[in-house]
C-alpha cells in the first residue's frame, strides 16, 4: 500500500509542480511553499499525508491525492483540482519554462550537495580539474606536514580518558557525519586525503617511485597506473626494512574518528597475525578542506596490539575514535 502510494505521489507531484507554478504566475498568486522545489515537494507532501494518517490507510489515485493536497492547504486557492494543462488554461510554453526552472534548481541543489569546499571555493567532483587540484594540494601543504617523518606515530591519549560520544562521527564510512552525504562527495573527500598522503610521501621519499606505491583506484588519473579499491589499503611502501600498507582516512574536519570497510578489516587482521616484515597503518588526514590547515596522523593497525588502549571501537560497527595528547 505504501509502495503504491509512493509511486502515485511521485508521479502526481512531478506533474503538478510546474503546472502549479505556471498557474500561480498566470493568476498573480503565491503558491504554497511546498511547490517551490520539486525535490522537496514529494517529501513534504508525504510528511503532510503521514501526519494526517492518510498515507497508509488505502491506495490513492492521483485525483484523490489532489483533493488531499487541497484539504491540507497544499494547493493554491481557487486553482482547479486538476493537472490537465488545457483544463487549467495554462500555456504549454509556461509549463515548459517552469519545468526547465525546476530541473535547473534540482541540478543546482545536487551540485551543491556533492561539492566540497576547498580553500574557500566550492569544488564539484564532476567538473573539477583534478591535475590542477593536485598541484594546489602539493603547493599548499604546510612544512609541518611535508616534514613529518613517516615512522612517527600520533601521540594518542588512552581511550579510558576519552569523553563518551554519541553515534556521530566523520572521516569516512557509511554512518556518522557522512550519513546522507552523496557518494560523489564522500569519494572526493577520500581522494583529497589520498592526494595529501601522495605528496607527503613524495616529499619524504624523494628517491622512491611513489607513483608505483599508490595502488588504490584513485591513483590512475594521476599516475597512469591502474589501481584497485579491493586491496584493503591505498599505498604500499618500503620503509625501515618493512613493507608498510597505508590506508588513508580523510575528513574535512577533525573528528578523531574513522571507519574500516570489510577489505580493510581483512587486510589489517592478516597483517596483525603475520610474522613477516609487514606493517598496516592508518594515515588519518584531517581538515582536507583547507590545505594549509591539513594534518596527517599515523595511527597503528586497529586490529593489532599497538592499538590496544588508544583506539576505541565506537558504536556497534568497526568505527574507531581517538584523541591526541596536547
Average pLDDT over every residue of 106-118: 93
- Looking at the chain, the whole-number percentage of residues with pLDDT higher than 70 is 94
What is the distance in angstroms between the CA of the first residue and the CA of the last residue of the chain?
A: 57
The cell numbers describing 310, all together, are 588508544
167 or 16: which carries more pLDDT confidence? 16
What pLDDT score was predicted for residue 138? 96
What is the spatial distance between Cα 203 and Cα 207, in angstroms, rounded to a whole number?
10
Q: How confident is the model at residue 171 (pLDDT cuts 50, 70, 90)?
A: very low
Banded pLDDT at 175 (limits 50, 70, 90): very low
Q: Which residue has the higher pLDDT, 103 or 254?
A: 254
Could you tell me the sign of the dihedral formed by the alpha carbons of 223, 229, 233, 238, in that order?
A: negative
Q: Which long-range contacts (CB under 8 A, 24 or more apart) does 232-236 make?
A: 232/261, 232/263, 232/264, 232/265, 232/266, 232/267, 232/268, 233/264, 233/267, 233/280, 234/194, 234/197, 234/283, 235/194, 235/197, 235/198, 235/201, 235/283
User: 10 Å Cβ neighbour count for 144?
Assistant: 10
Beta carbons of 208 and 200 less than 8 angstroms apart: no
Whether residue 170 has pLDDT greater than 50: no
Q: What is the pLDDT of residues 38-76, one digit of tens each?
A: 778 898 999 999 999 988 888 999 999 999 999 999 999
C-alpha count within 13 angstroms, C-beta hemisphere, residue 58: 6
Q: Which long-range contacts link 212-219 to residues 24+ away (Cβ below 8 Å)?
A: 213/237, 218/190, 218/191, 218/194, 219/194
The predicted pLDDT at position 165 comes to: 60
What's the pLDDT at 276?
A: 86
Task: Give residue-wise pLDDT tens across range 191-200.
Answer: 999 999 999 9
Lowest mean pLDDT: which of 82-96, 184-198, 232-246, 308-322? Answer: 308-322
Average pLDDT in the chain: 90
Least confident of 53-57, 139-143, 145-149, 248-252: 53-57
Taken in order 176, 180, 183, 187, is the CA torsion positive or negative?
Answer: negative
Amino acid at each position: 500500500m505504501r509502495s503504491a502510494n509512493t509511486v502515485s505521489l511521485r508521479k502526481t507531484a512531478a506533474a503538478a509542480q510546474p503546472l502549479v507554478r505556471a498557474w500561480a504566475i498566470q493568476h498573480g498568486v503565491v503558491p504554497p511553499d511546498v511547490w517551490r522545489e520539486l525535490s522537496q515537494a514529494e517529501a513534504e507532501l508525504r510528511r503532510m499525508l503521514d501526519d494526517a494518517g492518510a498515507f497508509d490507510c488505502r491506495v490513492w489515485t492521483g485525483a484523490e491525492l489532489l483533493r488531499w493536497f487541497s484539504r491540507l492547504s497544499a494547493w493554491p486557492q481557487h486553482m482547479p483540482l486538476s493537472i490537465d494543462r488545457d483544463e487549467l488554461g495554462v500555456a504549454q510554453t509556461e509549463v515548459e519554462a517552469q519545468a526547465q526552472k525546476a530541473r535547473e534548481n534540482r541540478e543546482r541543489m545536487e551540485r551543491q550537495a556533492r561539492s566540497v569546499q576547498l580553500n574557500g571555493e566550492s569544488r564539484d567532483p564532476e567538473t573539477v580539474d583534478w591535475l590542477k587540484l593536485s598541484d594546489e594540494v602539493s603547493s599548499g601543504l604546510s612544512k609541518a606536514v611535508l616534514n613529518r617523518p613517516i615512522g612517527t606515530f600520533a601521540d594518542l591519549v588512552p581511550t579510558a580518558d576519552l569523553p563518551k560520544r554519541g553515534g556521530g562521527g566523520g572521516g569516512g564510512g557509511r554512518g556518522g557525519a557522512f550519513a546522507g552525504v552523496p557518494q560523489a562527495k564522500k569519494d572526493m573527500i577520500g581522494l583529497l586525503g589520498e592526494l595529501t598522503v601522495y605528496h607527503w610521501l613524495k616529499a619524504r621519499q624523494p628517491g622512491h617511485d611513489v607513483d608505483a606505491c599508490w595502488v588504490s583506484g584513485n591513483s590512475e588519473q594521476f599516475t597512469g597506473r591502474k589501481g584497485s579499491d579491493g586491496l584493503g589499503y591505498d599505498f604500499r611502501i618500503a620503509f625501515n626494512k618493512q613493507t608498510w600498507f597505508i590506508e588513508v582516512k580523510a575528513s574535512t574536519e577533525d573528528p578523531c574518528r574513522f571507519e574500516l570497510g570489510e577489505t580493510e578489516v581483512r587486510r589489517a587482521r592478516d597483517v596483525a597475525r603475520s610474522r613477516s616484515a609487514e606493517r598496516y597503518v592508518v594515515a588519518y588526514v584531517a581538515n582536507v578542506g583547507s590545505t594549509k590547515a591539513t594534518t596527517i596522523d599515523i595511527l597503528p593497525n586497529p586490529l593489532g596490539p599497538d592499538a590496544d588502549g588508544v583506539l576505541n571501537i565506537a558504536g556497534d560497527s568497526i568505527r574507531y575514535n581517538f584523541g591526541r595528547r596536547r
